[in-house]
Structure 1
Amino acid sequence: MNIPVTQRRRERIEQVLAKRQPDLTLVMDNIWDPHNVSAVLRSCDAFGVHEVQLYYTTSPWPDLGKRTSASAKKWVRRIRHNDGPGMIQSLRDRGYQILRTGFSETARPVMAFDYTIPTAIILSNEHDGTAPELAELVSDEVYIPMQGMVQSFNVSVAAAIILYQAFLQRNEAGMYDSPRFDDDEFRALCKDWYSR
Structure 2
Amino acid sequence: MYKSISSSQNPLVKQVLLLQTKSKIRKNQGEFVIEGLREIDLAIQGGYKIDQLLWCEELLPEKHFKKIEEKTGSPTVRITKEIYEKISHRKSTEGLIAIAKYSELLFEDIVLSENPLVLIAEAPEKPGNLGALLRTADAAHVDAVLIANPKTDLYNPNIIRSSVGCIFTNQIVQGSNEAILAFLKRIKIKSYAAALTPTSKPYFTFDFKLPTAIIVGTEDTGLSDFWLQNADEKIIIPMQGKIDSLNVSVSAAILIFEAKRQRNFCL
> Does the pair score TM above 0.5?
yes
Taking a change above 3 Å as real, the CA distance of residues 176 and 33 of structure 1, as seen in their structure-2 partners, is same
**What is the letter of the counterpart of residue 183 of structure 2?**
S
Q: Which runs of 5+ in 1 are unaligned?
A: 5-19, 178-196
Q: Secondary structure at the match of 2:196?
A: coil
Whether 1:78 aligns to 2:146 is no
Q: Secondary structure at the match of 2:184?
A: helix
Between the aligned partners of 2:153 and 2:135, the Cα distance in structure 1 is 17
Deviation, structure 1 residue 35: 0.6
Other-structure match for 1:116: 209
5 Å matches for 1:7-156?
A: 23-56=116-149, 59-61=151-153, 63-65=156-158, 66-67=160-161, 69-82=163-176, 84-138=177-231, 140-156=233-249
**What is the letter of the counterpart of residue 3 of structure 1?**
K
Between the aligned partners of 1:49 and 1:128, the Cα distance in structure 2 is 25
Taking a change above 3 Å as real, the CA distance of residues 22 and 38 of structure 1, as seen in their structure-2 partners, is farther
Query: Quick check: 2:128–2:162 contact (8 Å CA) kept in 1?
Result: no
Between the aligned partners of 2:142 and 2:70, the Cα distance in structure 1 is 28
Count matched residues.
157
**What is the letter of the counterpart of residue 184 of structure 2?**
L
Q: Which runs of 5+ in 2 are unaligned?
A: 1-68, 73-112
Q: Percent identity?
A: 27
Taking a change above 3 Å as real, the CA distance of residues 133 and 156 of structure 1, as seen in their structure-2 partners, is same
Taking a change above 3 Å as real, the CA distance of residues 60 and 164 of structure 1, as seen in their structure-2 partners, is same
Structure with more strand by fraction: 2
Other-structure match for 2:260: 167
Deviation, structure 1 residue 31: 1.1
- Larger RCO, structures 1/2 (Cα 8 Å, 6+ apart): 1
Query: Quick check: 1:124–1:131 contact (8 Å CA) kept in 2?
Result: yes
Deviation, structure 1 residue 37: 0.6
Q: Secondary structure at the match of 2:214?
A: strand
Between the aligned partners of 2:184 and 2:162, the Cα distance in structure 1 is 30
Q: Secondary structure at the match of 1:152?
A: coil
CA RMSD of aligned residues (A): 2.3
**What is the letter of the counterpart of residue 75 of structure 1?**
T
Q: Secondary structure at the match of 1:147?
A: coil
TM-score with structure 2 setting the length? 0.54
Query: Quick check: 1:38–1:64 contact (8 Å CA) kept in 2?
Result: no
Q: Based on CA coordinates, which of the two structures has the bigger radius of gyration?
A: 2
Between the aligned partners of 1:96 and 1:31, the Cα distance in structure 2 is 22
Between the aligned partners of 1:61 and 1:50, the Cα distance in structure 2 is 22
Taking a change above 3 Å as real, the CA distance of residues 23 and 50 of structure 1, as seen in their structure-2 partners, is same
